[in-house]
Chain A
């Protein structure tokens, strides 16, 4: 099989909080961004709280230029939707299911779900 073309960017789905066996997705996202790649993280499930509240590696990832999206549905279920900053430049912002689906379907985005 021929070599796969280099991805235009990365989409990381952050579903599990960092743990010894999962490593730190935010550090990986930041490192990927420093290679020059476009990196988007969609924080869902229990990780959306970390993104909404700007905990752990989130500020560092945002500062490095990682685009951080928060699954609006998951945030709503956790009563966090009202805490999402509205239109903050570079900060985490909400994403609807339809917006996430568009990213998942983009063949140019190499997607890792963790």
Chain B
């Protein structure tokens, strides 16, 4: 969906819904958003439902150390998203205020924009293409 009478502000809107750790889909989304922004595409991500937990400050940027290999650090999803947002000026990350509030998850990292639920439609209109992830 896109507004037909003017060029889109964004090349792609990825709407991430549902439980973020239910499958590998979250890491796949991050990997493909990474690839799309490497091509200088303008990409915005919108999280709804439990996917709003992905960018909580309380998660921390790195995972707990692996007891079998304490020498290596692994980024959390939050850490990975924070890194992408710092490195890619053509990436924007928004989170649904309604879903965040409902889950007590309003403390997002600074780079995340908290947006009213009803503004989702304007994000769709601004984008040349919308892809939903997490709906079956």
Contact = CB atoms under 8 A, between A and B. Distances in A.
B39 A46 contact: no
A105 B11 contact: yes
Contact of A114 (B1, B34, B136): B136
A4 interface: yes
Given A15-B24, A21-B136, A102-B39, 19 more contacts: A4-B1, A15-B23, A15-B133, A22-B136, A44-B24, A45-B24, A45-B25, A45-B28, A74-B28, A97-B31, A97-B32, A97-B34, A101-B41, A104-B12, A105-B12, A105-B39, A113-B131, A113-B132, A113-B135
Q: How large is the interface on A (under 10, 10 to 19, 20 to 34, 35 or more residues)?
A: 20 to 34
Interface of B: 1-2, 4, 11-12, 23-25, 28, 31-32, 34-36, 38-39, 41, 128-129, 131-136
Residue among A22, A74, A107 with the highest chain B CB neighbour number at 10 A: A107
A2 interface: yes
6 contacts: A16-B25, A21-B136, A46-B23, A97-B34, A101-B32, A104-B12
Contacts of B31: 73, 97
Contacts of A104: 12, 32, 36, 129, 131
